[in-house]
Amino acid sequence: MELLSDPFRKHLGCEVEEVREGYARVRGVVREEFLNMYNLAHGGFIMALADFAFAISANTDAKRVAANISLSFYAPANSGDTLIAEAEKVKGKRLAFYRLKVYRGKELIAEGSAIAYG
C-alpha cells in the first residue's frame, strides 16, 4: 500500500500496527521535537497520528481522499509517551465516515470523526 511509504509518516516515526478492511492502528512516540510551549505533545502531532490511521483505513477498500477531520483532546501526552491511533469505518461507500481514537496506554486522550470521498 502506497500510504505505508508516506514520507511524512517516516518523519514522524509512526509505525503501522494493524490494517484490515476499514480499520487501521498506528503507533507513534512523542519525541522532544513534537512538544509545545508547555512541554506537552503538540496537538498537531496527535492529529497527525489520527490522520495517518484514517488515511490507511479509508484506502483499504477504495481510493479515497479526506473531506473532513475533527478531533477533540481530552488529556495531554508527554515526551516519551507511546500513542496509539485507531481509525475505523462506520459506514459509507463513495462518501465514507470514520471514528478516530487516540490512546496513551489504555487512556483515551483524543477522539473524533472523519469523512473520506472516493
| In the block, residue with C-alpha cell 510551549 | 37
Q: What cell does 69 get?
A: 477531520
CA distances from 11 to 14, 50, 88, 96, 112 (A): 8, 15, 24, 28, 24
Q: What is the pLDDT of residues 77-92, one digit of tens each?
A: 999 999 999 999 999 9
Angstrom distance (rounded) from CA 16 to CA 56: 9
Q: Is the pLDDT of residue 56 over 70?
A: yes
Q: Catalogue all structural domains in the chain, each as residue range(s) with its CATH number.
A: 2-117 (3.10.129.10)
Give 3-state DSSP helix, strand, coil % of the chain, rounded to 5.
25, 45, 30
Judged by DSSP in three states, 55 sits in: helix
Q: Is the pLDDT of residue 62 over 60?
A: yes
Is pTM beyond 0.75 here? yes
Between residues 90 and 7, which one has the greater pLDDT? 90
